């Protein structure tokens, strides 16, 4: 009798346990990528001046602060770049028996204050962006000729504007980026005449964010 009662009790417990649904396992959503506040983006590329100066490499770095405005998509940045394009030519002068060759190097350093807007949030893998701002153009013209040793030089500081745009691709702790920049200011040295120091640059960068 006791054995029969124990058997019935065990059967009831087993049936009750099998009737209860298995606990559900809820997949946890990945945590959103936090918005970054500061970014440093060194870059290297190729520049094409809008004057008769030739193609040249360019290097630079931009430091950005992501403001709280527009969901951290509005950035204020300080941009610095340096390049030194050149131009070769020859002139004829009745005072000399042959033509004179010359080379002009233009050292161009830019310091710009840019306002940029990122078209996607920091949680996206691809983030296009655009920017614009004023700049100071520090210019130094150096000329050497075949007529005499040494060099002639002239310096000036001009006010201009810089336009920028590109796209960032998330890679590791930051972003790999490609960008296009256009800068323009006047250039009016005695060695160059009235011209401009405009340029278009294509660069690659890596943006470190924190």
Q: What does the pLDDT average to over 179-194?
A: 92
Q: Would you say residue 128 lies in a domain?
A: yes
Hunting for tokens 């294509």 — which residue is that? Answer: 202
Q: Would you say residue 41 lies in a domain?
A: yes
Q: Is the pLDDT of residue 110 over 90?
A: yes
Q: What is the DSSP string of the chain?
A: -HHHHHHHHHHHHHHHHHHSPPPP-PPPPPPPPPPPSEEEEEEEEEEEESSS---EEEEEEEEEEE-SHHHHTEEEEEEEEEE--EEEEEE--TTSSS-EEEEEEEEEEEEEEEEEEESS-TTSSEEEEEEEEEEEEEEEEEEEESSSSS-EEEEEEEEEEEEEEEEEEEETTEEEEEEEEEEE-EEEETTTEEEE--EEEEEEEEEEE-
Residues 1-53 have pLDDT tens digits of: 555 554 555 465 455 555 555 555 555 655 666 789 999 999 999 999 999 89
Q: Would you say residue 24 lies in a domain?
A: no
Give this prediction's pTM.
0.80
Pick the closest to residue 163 from 138, 133, 127 (CA basis): 133
Q: Would you say residue 145 lies in a domain?
A: yes
Q: Would you say residue 55 lies in a domain?
A: yes
- CATH number, residue 154: 2.40.160.20
Residues 56-86 have pLDDT tens digits of: 999 999 999 999 999 999 999 999 999 999 9
The domain total for the chain is 1
Q: Is the pLDDT of residue 169 over 70?
A: yes
Residues of the chain above pLDDT 90, percent: 68
> Which residue segment(s) compose the domain that 61 sits in?
35-209
Looking at residue 130, its pLDDT comes to: 98
Contact 159, 172 (CB under 8 A): no
Q: Would you say residue 25 lies in a domain?
A: no
Contact 37, 66 (CB under 8 A): yes
């Amino acid at each position: 009798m006791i054995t029969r009662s124990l058997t019935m009790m065990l059967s009831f417990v087993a049936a009750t346990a099998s009737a209860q649904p298995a606990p559900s396992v809820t997949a946890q959503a990945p945590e959103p990528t936090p918005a970054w506040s500061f970014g440093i983006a060194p870059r290297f590329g190729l520049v094409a001046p809008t004057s008769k100066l030739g193609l040249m490499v360019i290097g630079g770095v931009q430091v950005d602060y992501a403001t709280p405005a527009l969901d951290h998509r509005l950035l204020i940045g300080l941009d610095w770049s340096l390049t030194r394009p050149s131009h070769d030519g020859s002139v004829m002068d009745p005072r000399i028996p042959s033509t004179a060759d010359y080379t002009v190097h233009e050292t161009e350093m830019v310091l710009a204050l840019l306002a940029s807007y990122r078209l996607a949030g920091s949680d996206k893998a691809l983030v296009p962006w655009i920017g614009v701002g004023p700049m100071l153009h520090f210019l130094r013209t150096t000329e050497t000729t075949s007529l005499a040793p040494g060099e002639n030089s002239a310096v000036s500081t001009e006010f201009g504007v810089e336009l920028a745009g590109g796209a960032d691709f998330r890679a590791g702790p930051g972003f790999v980026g490609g960008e296009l920049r256009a800068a323009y200011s006047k250039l009016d040295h005695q060695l160059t005449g009235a011209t401009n120091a405009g340029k278009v640059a294509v660069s690659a960068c890596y943006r470190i964010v924190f």
